[in-house]
Structure 1
Amino acid sequence: MFGSCSDSNDGLNFGGLVAKGSADNAKSMVTASKTFREGAIYLYQRSDFKKPTWLCRIKIPNTKGYITRSTGTGDEHQAFKFADDLYNQQLVKSLTGETVVGKRIGPAIDAYVRRIEVDKERLSIRYKILLMNRIKPHWAKKLFEDLSPAMISKLVDKLIENARDGRLSPNTIKRIYSDLKHFLQWTIDEGYLDRMPRFPKTNGQAARRPHFDPRDWQRLTRHLREFIKVENKAVRRDRMMLRDYVLILANTGIRVGEARILKWRDIREVGGGPDTPPNIVLTVSGKTGKREVVAASSEIKTYLKRIHDLRIEELATDDIPHPKLDPESLVFCHKDGSEIGSFKKSFAALLKSANVERDTHGQVRTLYSLRHTYATFRLQNGVHQFTLAKNMGTSVAMLEQYYGHTSNIAAADELTKRIKKTVSGAKTSLSWLTD
């Protein structure tokens, strides 16, 4: 029923797979094989598969290279049907002038990254490059013709699995899809891919962002004083930088990526008078472009001054005991002035030391919790959502989506203003819940 067929177990090398009898590559030893269509279809099984599975290697007339696939079955009849169908599909492609041998995604990822990294100063490009680096281990050996909603879903599952707290918000997944579509559109333009595959829908409701409540924030800020008290000078230097980094981000709401490239030229004072301190304004460049960020408190000047004085001390020499900082230099930097890639590990160590690793909902806090804390505190202090969204470089819809509960807390007086008297026997707090 298969047409012309012959058994093959003669020790030949098929596309880098060593047949039975060779000791050069025992893990990929071929244990059984069949050939059809005068060798155009080659079925084989390998010893490194836990379950006996037929693989196929196809050679299309008048084309270069081979097409190799797993048939996904240990049944010889079903395996031949898979291989025969694949052969006929590729033969039609060959006769109509289409590319036959599938193109792997890995080389396209490398080419795409080389193309966009010339503009890597833009935060949006950095996000795309980071995503490509995370995707490559999962897709490098896969073929463009295999792209499907299921393949994209499996990719997202892997990214969620590798996430710090084992979850990705719907908004983050949407951003992944957006950046992935940008890559795939480029591959279409370059001829790697014929058409854009269908993307699966994002499910689930937006979860609250892990932030610091007032009690844990106070605990953290108090612990910062002890955290920097270490004998090792290098460690103390890094912790001092981390201390002011934490306080600045929590008072401005700027993104981690925006803080990473913040320079001294980007900071200035605005307004102020005889009885009022000036506002501190930061010009940041993020995924929504450039914007002016007004700090929540003038105390940020103290934090910036500490970093400034630290850098002056590090740059001072015998010849120049009081140097001036280059306005083009980075605010958050190593001793040699180079960019600090991430405070992720040191921040995690700080949270563990202060015993504030998780919020009241059990979610793991991260560096982005500083931005979420800023948003929460500003809303609780009655800042209008439109004004806050503009300052944070986000949308009112996003604030409502993730911080709607905070808006209700901020409006507590308004929501309860018709209550004229206290119900008899009611306590003034919820302490009875833990009595």
Structure 2
Amino acid sequence: MPANQDSSVILRKKELRLFRRNRSGFWQVHYKIGSSKTWYRKTTGTDDLTEATQIAEDIYHEARVLDKRGLAVVSKKFKAVAEVVSQRLKGEVKAGTGKKSYADYYRAIDGYLIPYFGKFNVDRITPDVISSFHRWRTEKVGYELKASTQNNHNAALNCVFDYAVEKKYMTEAQRPSLKNTGEATTSRGIFSTDELIELQTFIKGWAHATKNVKSQQLRELLSLYITFIACTGVRPGTETKELKWKHIEFIQKPTMRVIHITLPQGKNGSRQLIARNELWPLLDKLRELQPEYANLTLEELVAKKEDKLLFRMRNGERPYDLVGTFADCLEAAGMSKSDKDGKSRSLYSLRHYYATQRILDGLDFGQLGKQMGTSIPMIEKHYSHLKPLMIAEQLAGDIPNDKTAQADEILRYMNPSPIRNDVISLVGATTGVYLPLVEANPKATKELKDELNKSLAKVS
């Protein structure tokens, strides 16, 4: 046979043959098993026909044994299979032909499934491997994912297994049983501002109640971490883990300078937010935690675009267990559950606090959803009960302005104490720094000035 032609040798009619391309040195085995219409291919690794024939027979007989036992004839790495599925899902989402949930599936595949299962053969994933994955995932995010999120991960995993079964990389009998160890999605226990202030006061003493220096530093950082989440509404762990000083910038607007934060990673990727003005002293306290920044002002530090974590302990290390330390702190303070609803509290309760406060401030659901990186339906699901409070002044009605004794009596009960800015009180309890009223609450400042001008006018 001329050297420039392909070579083919039939070993078993319609079942087994050897094939070699004219530019290839090695023989390749092509084989089918039973009534299957699929031709499998595998290299023999040799250019010797006699040796290649023996290897081909061995491969064929081994494949027949696997097929009779109900096992996959050809095995593939999970990563190779999952990458194909992920690309398919992305293509359908981009084309607008896929379900909305497909975006959650490919994120689960890329962010969780491939990193853990990637090196396993897809037909060798056992229940023990699934259990190990659950432990790994909990350690990765710092808490156990809710049942709804685990359902998405399981659905994504089944998409990979479906494709593997279709391509005969595994059999249906080899599909492992999946489990869901998460709690059903419920609202977290809530905090009031007074409770958070009480908690901050407790942490100041609790931080020094241990002789372990690292534990002291972690508890000290936890105090600032708690208030940061309560003032920004970011997702603890997910959106704070890789947050660095370079992700913060100060932007000058017509009436004020604002704190702009780019969260590098999160539930749906990177996103941006504007932090409340009360966060200024908190950022400065985070700067003070790092001795290397002792000679820098907050302005200078932010301008440097430092590629270092925002949340670091005094020794410069990444905090090792903020989730567990927060739980220990609540337990020690006797605040593990909400007094109002009896539900257990977690770091996510601080995100709930932020949302509640902003709604009571008058922020509409659309603005809040964009600020918190979540959908309007999700905001409505959890906070629609606050709608009456959003229009509380209209519902309460006007106070009579006829200067009657009745009007004075109503006002006396309405205003028994000065107006308090809740967020300022919380930041002050955390940092010891209280912003001037004009920076914290321009509306209250204007009202105070108007009242003073009225009083001066009466005196004159």
Q: Secondary structure of the residue that 1:352 maps to in structure 2?
A: helix
Q: Secondary structure of the residue that 1:364 maps to in structure 2?
A: coil
Asked if residue 305 in structure 1 is aligned to residue 284 in structure 2, the reply is yes
- In the alignment, is the contact (CA less than 8 A) between 1:380 and 1:409 conserved in 2? yes
State how far apart, in whole Å, the 2-side matches of 1:110 and 1:173 are: 23
Pick closer, same or farther for the CA change 1:131–1:64 going to 2, 3 Å: closer
State how far apart, in whole Å, the 2-side matches of 1:155 and 1:300 are: 40
- In the alignment, is the contact (CA less than 8 A) between 1:106 and 1:140 conserved in 2? no
Alignment of 1:29-428 (within 5 A): 62-63=61-62, 91=68, 100-101=70-71, 108=78, 125-128=110-113, 140-142=125-127, 171-181=148-158, 183-184=160-161, 187=164, 191-193=168-170, 207-230=186-209, 232-255=212-235, 256-271=237-252, 277-284=256-263, 285-295=265-275, 297-311=276-290, 313=291, 327-334=306-313, 337-340=316-319, 342-359=321-338, 360-415=340-395, 417=397
Pick closer, same or farther for the CA change 1:419–1:173 going to 2, 3 Å: farther
State how far apart, in whole Å, the 2-side matches of 1:110 and 1:250 are: 42
Task: Quote how far apart the aligned CAs of 1:308 are.
Answer: 1.2
Pick closer, same or farther for the CA change 1:222–1:336 going to 2, 3 Å: closer
Pick closer, same or farther for the CA change 1:377–1:155 going to 2, 3 Å: farther
Task: Quote how far apart the aligned CAs of 1:194 are.
Answer: 6.9
- In the alignment, is the contact (CA less than 8 A) between 2:78 and 2:117 conserved in 1? no
Task: Quote how far apart the aligned CAs of 1:243 are.
Answer: 1.1
Task: Quote how far apart the aligned CAs of 1:306 are.
Answer: 1.2
Pairwise CA RMSD = 5.3
Q: Which 5+ residue runs of structure 1 have no aligned equivalent?
A: 1-60, 68-89, 95-99, 117-121, 145-151, 422-427, 430-435
State how far apart, in whole Å, the 2-side matches of 1:200 and 1:340 are: 30
State how far apart, in whole Å, the 2-side matches of 1:243 and 1:107 are: 45
Greater Cα offset, 383-392 or 278-287: 278-287
Pick closer, same or farther for the CA change 1:206–1:239 going to 2, 3 Å: closer
Give CA deviations for 1:146-170 in whole Å, capped at 9, x if unaligned: xxxxxx9x999999xx9x9x99756
- Residue type of the alignment partner of 1:345: G
State how far apart, in whole Å, the 2-side matches of 1:384 and 1:243 are: 29
Pick closer, same or farther for the CA change 1:323–1:258 going to 2, 3 Å: closer
State how far apart, in whole Å, the 1-side matches of 2:116 and 2:356 are: 28
- Residue type of the alignment partner of 1:402: H
Pick closer, same or farther for the CA change 1:132–1:251 going to 2, 3 Å: farther
- Residue type of the alignment partner of 2:369: A
- In the alignment, is the contact (CA less than 8 A) between 1:277 and 1:298 conserved in 2? no
Task: Quote how far apart the aligned CAs of 1:186 are.
Answer: 6.6
What corresponds to 1:424 in structure 2? none
- Residue type of the alignment partner of 1:300: L
State how far apart, in whole Å, the 2-side matches of 1:130 and 1:366 are: 27
Q: Secondary structure of the residue that 2:261 maps to in structure 1?
A: strand
Identity %: 23
Task: Quote how far apart the aligned CAs of 1:304 are.
Answer: 1.4
- Residue type of the alignment partner of 2:149: T
- In the alignment, is the contact (CA less than 8 A) between 1:105 and 1:142 conserved in 2? no
TM-score by length of 2: 0.51
Q: Secondary structure of the residue that 2:240 maps to in structure 1?
A: helix
Q: Secondary structure of the residue that 1:289 maps to in structure 2?
A: coil
Structure ID, larger Rg: 2
State how far apart, in whole Å, the 1-side matches of 2:321 and 2:229 are: 14
State how far apart, in whole Å, the 1-side matches of 2:328 and 2:80 are: 34
Pick closer, same or farther for the CA change 1:206–1:346 going to 2, 3 Å: closer
State how far apart, in whole Å, the 2-side matches of 1:129 and 1:345 are: 27
- In the alignment, is the contact (CA less than 8 A) between 2:72 and 2:170 conserved in 1? no
Structure with greater helix percent:
2
Task: Quote how far apart the aligned CAs of 1:404 are.
Answer: 2.0
Task: Quote how far apart the aligned CAs of 1:298 are.
Answer: 1.6
Give CA deviations for 1:80-118 in whole Å, capped at 9, x if unaligned: xxxxxxxxxx65xx8xxxxx32599997489969x99xx
Pick closer, same or farther for the CA change 1:265–1:205 going to 2, 3 Å: closer
What corresponds to 1:18 in structure 2? none
Using CA pairs below 8 Å that are at least 6 residues apart, which structure has the higher relative contact order? Answer: 2
- Residue type of the alignment partner of 1:327: E
Count of aligned positions: 303
- Residue type of the alignment partner of 2:251: V
TM-score by length of 1: 0.54
